[in-house]
Amino acid sequence: MRRKLIAGNWKMNKLKADGIELARSVFEKCTVNLPFDVLICPPMSLLGLIADMPHGSCGIGSQDVAETIKESGAFTGDVSAKMVCDLGATHAIVGHSERRTLHHETDDVVRQKAENAMAAGLTAVICIGETEAEREGGEALSVVSRQIQGSVPTTATSENCVIAYEPVWAIGTGKTPTVADVAEVHAAVRAELVKLLGQEVANKMRILYGGSVKPSNARELLSVDNVDGALIGGASLKIDDFWGIASTQL
């Protein structure tokens, strides 16, 4: 049985005061025994501050790590996975569609970042997902299969890796795929993981759904076969929305 993971990706949001307040509200919820795992991924500017707060069982993740295999050196603006780990993080998102699109990150780059995260002791949250044109062209399954094969290191395990399926056209748009479409893609992702990592590892690996998850659709999306949690953007920025989603799993 895979334990669900409710994860918030704050993206480039929150200044210090608001970020600390939001983190505190989430952490308060994580002081009791919950039947699921919780993760928040604040911007790098707040990661250390937030990781230093008492955070109960809540995981803390970065939204990226440096591509270079080096742990330090002349890489202006980059933050290595080791540095992220040193700040107290447990997870790192890699390959988010905003990085694949805006920063032209390829599957090779994403796989290297995932490897760096794992080598530093972090759990990599590897994002995949098709664009609207790819979905309309009937290519959704082939795109996510290619991304799995290209972005997921063969050393991935259920401990050091989580997959997040985020259809690009569903991110921040209020649009979500049908339950049948989510089920189809998540089953295809699982099958691709079996090919890459073997049945045993693939069966234990969590596959999150992300893209316009909100309190009103969370119960339905999270009850789909092979949906092992949610990666939440906009709705993770308000405690009532974030916890409204999480509470559907209580």
Interface positions, 208-237, toward ligand 13P (CB under 6 A):
210-213, 231-235
Residues in 68-97 at the binding interface with ligand 13P, rule: CB under 6 A: 96
Nearer to ligand 13P, 96 or 135 (CB): 96
96 labelled catalytic: yes
In what helix (H) or strand (E) does residue 127 lie, and over which residues does it extend? strand 123-128
Task: Pick the closer one to ligand 13P by CB: 115 or 166.
Answer: 166
Catalytic residue among 115, 130, 134, 166: 166
Nearer to ligand 13P, 84 or 232 (CB): 232
Q: Which of residues 96-125 bind ligand 13P (CB under 6 A)?
A: 96
Lookup: tokens for 124: 């990599």
Query: Under rule CB under 6 A, which residues in 151-170 are in contact with ligand 13P?
Result: 166
Q: How far apart are CA 242 and CA 245, in angstroms?
A: 5
For residue 165, the minimal CB distance to ligand 13P (Å) is: 11
Residue 22 or 171: the one with the smaller Cβ distance to ligand 13P is: 171
- Per annotation, catalytic residue among 96, 98, 130, 192: 96
Task: Report the C-alpha gap between 37 and 27 in whole angstroms.
Answer: 12
User: Which run of H or of E encompasses 206?
Assistant: strand 206-210
Query: What are the residues whose beta carbons fall under 8 Å from the beta carbon of 114, sequence distance 6 or more?
Result: 94, 95, 124, 126, 151, 152, 153, 156, 161
Inter-residue contact 226 to 235 (CB < 8 Å):
no
134 is known as an active-site residue: no
- As measured in angstroms, the least distance from the Cβ of 35 to ligand 13P is 22
The yes or no reply on residue 9 touching ligand 13P (CB under 6 A) is yes
Q: Which of 171, 38, 153, 173 is nearest to 99 (CA)?
A: 171
Tokens encoding 71: 């742990």
Active centre residues (catalytic)? 96, 166
Q: By the criterion CB under 6 A, which residues form the site for ligand 13P?
A: 9, 96, 166, 171-172, 210-213, 231-235
